[in-house]
Amino acid sequence: MMIFRSVLLATALLAVTAVAAFGQDGDDAIAPPVLRAKVAVADDVVRIGDIIDNAGTAAQIAIYRAPDLGTTGSLPTAQVLSVLQAHQVIGVDTRDIKAVSITRLSRLIEAKEIRLQVARALEHHSGLGDAANLSLTFDQDVQDLQFDASATGAIQPIATRYEPRSGRFDVGFEIGNDNNTTPVKLRFTGTAIETVEAVVLTRDVQRNEILKSSDVITERRPKAEIGSDAAARDAVVGMQMRRQLRAGQALRTTDLAKPDLVQRDDNVTLIYESTGLYLTIRGKALDSGAEGDIVSVLNLQSKRTISGVVIGRGQVAISVATPRLPTAIEIPASANVGSAETAAASVTASNSSPIAPKAE
């Protein structure tokens, strides 16, 4: 019983101290301390003023270590009150809060942003191309990074080195802050390879095969592997292979040709078309050819070999020389023509060579 009374007496004394600390006069009294349910701190410590409203002169006293950057912790209210009482902060209105949530403010820089910044630092450096075409492999796995909330500056590259032969890079960055302290420094190393979009075979193909859409896919491949001769997907489908290739190989423009619409020894249709006239004759191709190629064809009726232009599958267009008409001669209107016979003689003489006398 005596111990209980002592506790009551101590509690009463603390209450009196609190009243003295926060004032007694009606209008001049300082508002009582009130507990906050959620707290966000930027420093690495939690102060009384962070978790208590109206903390008075005790506001700057540090009582807890803050959670890790970007994380949230929880403190039971009873534990908080115990710590506050140790610093003579009593009579706190808890508003029935069971626990205080404390979040450490930070600046998050995601891994994808770091990769982008490294690529931009290397862009057009020592012969490299655009940042979007660079494939980066880091010596250490790049993860999201958390920094103090005061580190609000831009990510600035301060040193960039790249060795074209090995592909090795070493890039340093600096991030400024609001409190004018030493900037945050970052460094990343690894290898960089310039890539190009390539059309890759999904199966083995033979020479003279015609490519279908399902025969190819698009991938990014090292530029050194493809060179500047990479074939575009929209220019591949429907083309004919010049040589045999295996699945997984990238296509170059030199690997492709227009498909042969006419095959050697195939029967073809010879077409002659002129104004008001359309003729077809059966023939046999003596050459293979793509659209626009000139091939030799055997006329199966006359057994003569003629040349024509491939215009479609199994179709060859031929042309027949048209006789050339004499060039009309224009007689000036000012000319003095005596008679029709004289004019005719003049025209004949001007369009022919001298005629030898006829032998009797």
Assess if residue 142 is contained within a domain. Answer: yes
39, 145: one domain:
no
What total number of domains does the chain contain?
Answer: 3
88: exposed, middle or buried (C-beta count within 10 Å: 0-12, 13-18, 19+)?
middle
Backbone torsions φ then ψ of 66, nearest 5 degrees: -70, 155
User: What pLDDT is recorded for position 229?
Assistant: 85
Assess if residue 284 is contained within a domain. Answer: yes
Please give the model's pTM, rounded to 2 decimal places: 0.60
Task: Label residue 248 by pLDDT band (50, 70, 90).
Answer: very high
Give per-residue pLDDT as tens, 91-120. 999 999 999 999 999 999 999 999 999 999
Assess if residue 175 is contained within a domain. Answer: yes
Per the structure, the complete domain to which residue 291 belongs is given by 260-317
User: What pLDDT is recorded for position 225?
Assistant: 86
Assess if residue 43 is contained within a domain. Answer: yes
Assess if residue 6 is contained within a domain. Answer: no
Give per-residue pLDDT as tens, 121-141. 999 999 899 999 999 999 999
Q: Of 257, 279, 307, which residue sits at a domain end?
A: 257
Task: Label residue 189 by pLDDT band (50, 70, 90).
Answer: very high
Give per-residue pLDDT as tens, 223-241. 888 888 889 888 899 899 9
Range with lowest mean pLDDT among 61-70, 332-341, 343-352:
343-352
Among candidate residues 118, 108, 112, 113, the one with its CA nearest the CA of residue 173: 118
